[in-house]
Structure 1
Amino acid sequence: MAFPRTATDTERFVREWHDWHRGHESARADPHGFLAITGLHWLTEEPERFDDAPGAWSTGSDGVVVALGEGEELVVDGSPVRGEHRFGMSAERDGVTVTWGDAVIEVARRGGHDIVRPRHPDHALRTGYRGTPAYEPDPRWVVPGRYVAFDEPRPTTVGAVVDGLRHVYEAPGRIDVELEGRALSLTAFPGRPPGGLLVLFTDATSGVTTYAACRELLVEAPGADGTVTLDFNRAVNLPCAYTGFATCPLPPPENRLPIAIKAGEKIPYERAR
């Protein structure tokens, strides 16, 4: 993204940001998005029933199992399932969703633990969602950087908003950038789409005008010479900014920035005091 040079460029920049943010808000409010999550259930070997999902759920060496009672049914891969169903082992940060009426049930693995997270479209957090406040888009927060790939991806352990939980990411490299006259190096994780990068960060606005735990910024794939563009106007909140049923990661120490990045999404209305 080129830095706007004329009034017309700036108008286009602002218009494109508003288009992007409307799309992001629409995706966030999806009927089965994270605003629809009604519970975060940590599974053990002991079967347990939950108010917001059918069946008795457990996990063990062979993965997650649900035992559905009489009259209970899930739809898995388009087919109805009754009785016992074995999901098998899930990879870390992976999972599946199955259907129960108008709800979906997420079965996943986070921080080495198997979880169940039901998502109900009529959950009050989703139906009452009124958008997320954000700083007005400002071209000065579109900054160039340089991506430096590591010789090999580095396993990087970070904390989580859930006490005692840890996430391990394979960091492919770092991004060197100058912000407010300070030279900084940010650890980058794999982003979306493949080839892109993800930066988890906090800054001097965190806990003041922006969500305290973390924000994330997607960065397009580096150019052949390693050049990247960081548009902090598109820094967004993670699910944990809205719901206590999230397991979001925290940024590594080097991504806790000592400057105030007055750009991107602010503290959600749901968290404001």
Structure 2
Amino acid sequence: MSVQTYEQELEAWRAMQEASWRQENGWLALAGLFWLEEGESRMGTGPDMEIQLPSGKAPAHLATITLKDGKVRLTAPAGSPVYVDGQQVTDIEMMPERPGPATIVTSGSLAFFIKNEDDDFMAVRLWDNDREERQSFPGREWYLIQDAYRVTGRFEPNPHTEEFPRTFGMVAEKETLGTVKFELLGQELALQALPGRPGTLFLIFRDKTSGQSTYAPGRYMLGELGDDNTVTLDFNKAFNPPCSVTNYATCMFPPPSNHLPVGIEAGEKYVDFLH
């Protein structure tokens, strides 16, 4: 692949990343995350609702979410504007995100589903597709493309459990697949790898730019895994977790073993949009 073709493909990839955050039911449309406890949680715009919806966007009581024995059920008053797949509903079991597919409920500009993770929690994740943030976000910023940050590493399988810090003070115990070892900026480095999309490894890392020009908790990247356990690492594609632009995402951050002692001036920079 020529340098020009590579840069064109990378710019197209970055444009898709930008669009994915602005899209309907995207990260910039998030409007709430509500933890569920056993029993009933009423949702609506009324002041006594456990799940508060944006003012003017729903009736005082839109619906009731009931968590019982690990299952979630939605019931709604007759005539309430609650829809699933375009059909008005008054009583339905809501399938959570995992194992999925999640039941997505819509009401006007609002949409919501049940977010869950390793049986640690159940929560209602809410979107409002009229949120101003979808338009007002100034855009994702990136370092200039640099070929020096495209390297080939080697994957060494070593499945084991690793603790990954998470938002809201939580910790996720994840089964890592092994270690990716590589050389960058004259140093021998290593990262613990999680499963990614087919043919890839998911890498979460911090480096010396974190908290300076890049997002303080760390960034994400996918490594392309070859049949011979070689891994193509392109730090020009390092990207921020969604927690960098919303308070309503649940993100994992790197364990100490994935804190790199170098400054990686490649990939996505940090735009302080939340403050």
Q: Please state which band the TM-score falls in when normalised by the shorter chain.
A: 0.7 to 0.9
Alpha-carbon deviation of 1:90? 5.8
Alpha-carbon deviation of 1:183? 1.5
Where do 5+ consecutive residues of structure 2 fail to align? 44-50
Alpha-carbon deviation of 1:107? 1.1
User: Partner residue of 1:6?
Assistant: none
Is residue 117 from structure 1 mapped to residue 125 from structure 2 by the alignment?
yes
User: Partner residue of 1:155?
Assistant: 161
Whole-angstrom CA distance in 1 between matches of 2:199 and 2:248: 29
Whole-angstrom CA distance in 2 between matches of 1:189 and 1:198: 5
Is residue 179 from structure 1 mapped to residue 184 from structure 2 by the alignment?
yes
Deviates more, 1:91-100 or 1:243-252: 91-100
> 1:243 is aligned with what amino acid?
T
Alpha-carbon deviation of 1:86? 2.4
Whole-angstrom CA distance in 1 between matches of 2:101 and 2:153: 31
> 1:231 is aligned with what amino acid?
D
Which residue of 196, 203, 209 maps to 1:199?
A: 203
Alpha-carbon deviation of 1:116? 0.5
Is residue 98 from structure 1 mapped to residue 112 from structure 2 by the alignment?
no
Which residue of 144, 157, 161 maps to 1:136?
A: 144
8 Å Cα contact 2:84-2:103 kept in structure 1: no
Where do 5+ consecutive residues of structure 1 fail to align? 3-8
State the identity as a percent: 32
Whole-angstrom CA distance in 2 between matches of 1:258 and 1:94: 40
Whole-angstrom CA distance in 2 between matches of 1:73 and 1:154: 47
Q: Structure 1 89/102 Cα, relative in aligned 2: closer, same or farther at 3 Å?
A: closer
TM-score normalised by the chain length of structure 1? 0.86
- Write the deviation string for residues 165-205 of structure 1: whole angstroms up to 9, x where unpaired: 2223221221111122221221111112x231110111100
User: Partner residue of 2:175?
Assistant: 170
TM-score normalised by the chain length of structure 2? 0.86
Is residue 64 from structure 1 mapped to residue 72 from structure 2 by the alignment?
yes
Deviates more, 1:127-136 or 1:200-209: 127-136
Deviates more, 1:17-26 or 1:45-54: 45-54
Whole-angstrom CA distance in 1 between matches of 2:75 and 2:113: 16
Whole-angstrom CA distance in 1 between matches of 2:250 and 2:270: 18
Is residue 212 from structure 1 mapped to residue 216 from structure 2 by the alignment?
yes
User: Partner residue of 1:256?
Assistant: 259
Which residue of 189, 195, 202 maps to 2:194?
A: 189
Alpha-carbon deviation of 1:87? 2.2
User: Partner residue of 1:236?
Assistant: 239
Q: Secondary structure at the match of 1:162?
A: helix
8 Å Cα contact 1:132-1:265 kept in structure 2: yes
Whole-angstrom CA distance in 2 between matches of 1:76 and 1:234: 36
Whole-angstrom CA distance in 2 between matches of 1:118 and 1:211: 24
> 1:216 is aligned with what amino acid?
Y
- Write the deviation string for residues 68-127 of structure 1: whole angstroms up to 9, x where unpaired: 124324333554311x33225664798442222333212120361101011111112212
Is residue 146 from structure 1 mapped to residue 163 from structure 2 by the alignment?
no
Deviates more, 1:55-64 or 1:108-117: 55-64
User: Partner residue of 1:5?
Assistant: none
Which residue of 81, 93, 98 maps to 1:86?
A: 93
8 Å Cα contact 1:242-1:270 kept in structure 2: yes
> 1:174 is aligned with what amino acid?
T
Deviates more, 1:39-48 or 1:55-64: 55-64
Which residue of 19, 24, 46 maps to 1:26?
A: 19
> 1:103 is aligned with what amino acid?
L
8 Å Cα contact 1:104-1:119 kept in structure 2: yes
User: Partner residue of 1:13?
Assistant: 6
- Write the deviation string for residues 231-265 of structure 1: whole angstroms up to 9, x where unpaired: 00000011100011111011121111111000111
